[in-house]
Each structure stands twice: as structure tokens, then as C-alpha cells.
Amino acid sequence: MKKKRSDRFAGLTLLKKNDTSYPQSPDEARLEAFPNPFPKRPYVVRFDCPEFTSRCPITSQPDFGHIVIEYVPNRKCLESKALKLYLFAFRNHPTFHEEAINRILEDVVKAIRPRRIEVRGVFNPRGGIAITVEARWPR
């Protein structure tokens, strides 16, 4: 028997809100998920965030990057508005690039337990050096 639409999406509180409150840090943000409509079929979901911003934990200067999250869903899929708010929460968060990418990976894995996932961050050059960080799960 197919679940009612209201039952399937009952946990999506952020998408239902008319007003958006922006979390001040990733700790305050909440990743939400919905049931995978095709759990027996392996397929790829790719989120592309070309305007990621965080702050250097030493200088407090802004760091800009391009984040791509690519995963194969298992039982749950990541809801995009919740992901947008979560990524936005890094805007004033002091973190190194390596920490940010691995934190994003760990938080998404915790939220949806995908079959596999890769998080890639390509950060703009600072001091003449660009940094790309990639993290994968399972290892």
C-alpha cells in the first residue's frame, strides 16, 4: 500500500515554512530527508553549490568555494532547502577547507546513510594557492 503524501513528507519542516530563518552555524542547522522513491535502483543525486562561503579560523577572512555533493541514495534522500540552509550556516563559521568538507560529509552520512557519497570543495585561491578537498564514504 502506497503511503499518503502527507505521511511521506511529514519530517520536512523547513520546506513547509513560509519564512526562512538562517542558522548561524552548522551546529544550529538541520539536515532533513525524505523517503527514497526508488530504493531498489541505484542512481546518482548531485548538488552543486558554486557560492559556498566560510571564514578562515586564523585570519577571519572569507573563503569562497564551489561545493559538489554527489551521492547514491539508500533509504533516504536529502532535501535541498535544508541542505541550502545548512551550507549557508558556514558563512560566518571559522573552519579550514579540510574541516568543512569532512564535516559536510559526516553530517550528510549521519542524516541519510547513503550507499556512497563524495563531497568535493574547490576553493578560490588565497595567497596564490587554490585548494581542492575531496572526501568519500564509505572509505
Active-site annotation holds for 49:
no
Please tell me the predicted confidence (pLDDT) of residue 7: 72
Residue from 19, 48, 49, 63 carrying the catalytic annotation = 63
Residue from 7, 19, 27, 56 carrying the catalytic annotation = 56
Q: Cβ(112)–Cβ(43) under 8 Å? A: no
Domain ranges of the chain: 51-139
Contacts of 128 (CB under 8 A, 6+ apart): none
Active-site annotation holds for 77:
no
Please report, in tens digits, the pLDDT of each residue of the chain (139 residues total). Answer: 555 666 777 777 777 666 778 899 999 999 999 999 999 999 999 999 999 999 999 999 999 999 999 999 999 999 999 999 999 999 999 999 999 999 999 999 999 999 999 999 999 998 899 999 999 999 7
Please tell me the predicted confidence (pLDDT) of residue 11: 74
Give the predicted TM-score (pTM) of the model. Answer: 0.87
Q: Does domain 51-139 have CATH number 3.40.50.2300?
A: no
